[in-house]
């Protein structure tokens, strides 16, 4: 494999986790910890395959995935942001819902003879790179610009650090956090769609395989800076590519390579997390006084 093809393949494996981690970065900067990424990505991945298979259009599949990811996350946000429910409990419920729903629908679809493989993928630009991959650096820069170069980004960061400051400046912390979750849900939907339409053109039960949780860890690894989050995602993408590259070519057990992304993410999280300063009010529900 030539260097360009190798690089593009690694970026392909990087993209799902990177998209989810970028959205989670925005959400966490506003003070909301979305544990439900895994379930949201899984539901979105399923929707992308079903819609793409039914219509023959990967773009309609992508739109369905993003829309469903947004809807599911905003339902979750109603409980965590508006009703100030426990964010970990709500996110765990979404994960269980996503796994249960997609597993049930998958089994029903198989019983009915529905095909979950060979669906339409994205047509590559110049026969080399698919257009969704082009979005990755653009969205990475966009997230950076939003959070660190725009007034609304300053307000969003204030909502995660010291909510009364955002309120005193005339911003609604509830609204800012809802916007943060809207971005988070849309990005999670994009991540799920690319996992199925961009990489495998198929769906399998629990195919996210912990990528949502890894994305959450990468936000801490990247210290809530979009550039570093993308760099951390690239490391995980390389390790995921390595799993496939060594299959049948190494004397070492394949399980060792399958576990590598999770082991590395855990190790780096423990190592980096010691000196990392998270948003001060991350995970703390906001209740407006009076």
The answer to whether residues 234 and 10 touch, using CB atoms and an 8 Å cutoff, is yes
Q: What is the mean pLDDT of residues 107-114?
A: 78
Q: Give the pLDDT mean for 209-238.
A: 94
Sign of the alpha-carbon torsion through 64, 69, 70, 72: positive
CA distance 147 to 93: 29
Inform me whether the pLDDT recorded for 42 exceeds 80: yes
Is pLDDT at 132 greater than 80 in this prediction?
Answer: yes
258-269 pLDDT tens trace = 787 888 878 877
If you average pLDDT over residues 52-64, what whole number do you get?
94
Q: What is the pLDDT of residue 1?
A: 65
pLDDT of 275 > 70? The answer is: no
> What was the pLDDT predicted at 289?
72
Look up residue 288 and give its two tokens.
């407006």
What domains can you pick out in the chain, each with its CATH number? 3-123+130-209 (1.10.3470.10)
Percentage of the chain beyond pLDDT 70 is 93
3-class SS letters over the chain: CCHHHHHHHHHHHHHHHHHHHHHHHHHHHCCCCCCCHHHHHHHHHHHHHHHHHHHCCHHHHHHHHHHHHHHHHHHHHHHHHHCCCCHHHHHHHHHHHHHHHHHHHHHHHHHCCCCCECCCCCCCECCCECHHHHHHHHHHHHHHHHHHHCHHHHHHHHHHHCHHHHHHCCCCHHHHHHHHHHHHHHHHHHHHHHHHHHHHCECCCCCCCCHHHHHHHHHHHCCCCHHHHHHHHHHHHHHHHHHHHCCCCCCCCHHHHHHHHHHHHHHHHHHHHCCCCCCCCCCCCCCCCC
The lowest-confidence range among 41-55, 78-92, 145-159, 257-271 is 257-271
90/261: higher pLDDT: 90
Instruction: Give me the mean pLDDT over the 152-176 stretch.
Output: 96
27-37 residue pLDDT tens: 999 999 999 99
- pLDDT score of 86 more than 90: yes
The pLDDT of residue 256 is 74
C-alpha span between 229 and 138 (Å, rounded): 14
Percent of the chain scoring above 90 in pLDDT: 72
Mean pLDDT across the stretch 163-190? 97
Q: What is the pLDDT of residue 277?
A: 83
Across all residues in the chain, what is the average pLDDT? Answer: 91
pLDDT-based confidence at residue 157 (cuts at 50, 70, 90): very high
Least confident of 11-15, 128-132, 172-176, 228-232: 128-132
Contact by Cβ (8 Å): 173, 159: yes
Give whichever of 8-12, 40-44, 54-58 has the largest mean pLDDT: 40-44
């Amino acid at each position: 494999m030539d260097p360009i093809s190798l690089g593009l393949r690694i970026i392909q494996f990087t993209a799902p986790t990177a998209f989810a981690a970028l959205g989670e970065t925005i959400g966490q900067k506003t003070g909301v910890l979305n544990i439900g990424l895994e379930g949201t990505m899984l539901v979105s991945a399923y929707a992308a395959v079903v819609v793409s298979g039914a219509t023959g259009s990967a773009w309609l599949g992508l739109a369905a995935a993003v829309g469903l990811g947004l809807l599911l996350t905003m339902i979750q946000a109603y409980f965590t942001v508006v009703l100030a429910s426990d964010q970990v409990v709500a996110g765990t419920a979404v994960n269980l819902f996503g796994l249960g729903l997609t597993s049930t629908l998958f089994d029903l679809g198989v019983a009915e003879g529905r095909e979950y493989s060979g669906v339409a993928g994205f047509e590559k630009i110049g026969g080399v790179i698919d257009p969704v991959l082009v979005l990755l650096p653009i969205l990475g820069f966009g997230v950076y610009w939003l959070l660190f170069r725009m007034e609304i980004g300053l307000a969003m960061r204030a909502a995660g650090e010291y909510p009364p400051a955002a309120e005193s400046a005339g911003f609604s912390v509830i609204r800012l956090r809802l916007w943060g979750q809207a971005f988070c849900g849309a990005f999670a939907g994009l991540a799920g769609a690319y996992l199925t339409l961009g990489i495998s053109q198929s769906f399998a039960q629990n195919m996210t395989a912990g990528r949502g949780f890894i994305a959450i860890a990468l936000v801490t690894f990247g210290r809530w800076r979009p550039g570093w989050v993308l760099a951390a995602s690239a490391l995980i993408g390389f390790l995921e590519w390595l799993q496939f590259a060594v299959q049948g070519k190494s004397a070492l057990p394949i399980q060792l390579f399958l576990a590598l992304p999770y082991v590395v993410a855990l190790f780096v999280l423990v190592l980096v997390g010691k000196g990392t300063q998270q948003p001060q009010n991350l995970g703390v529900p906001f209740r407006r006084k009076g």
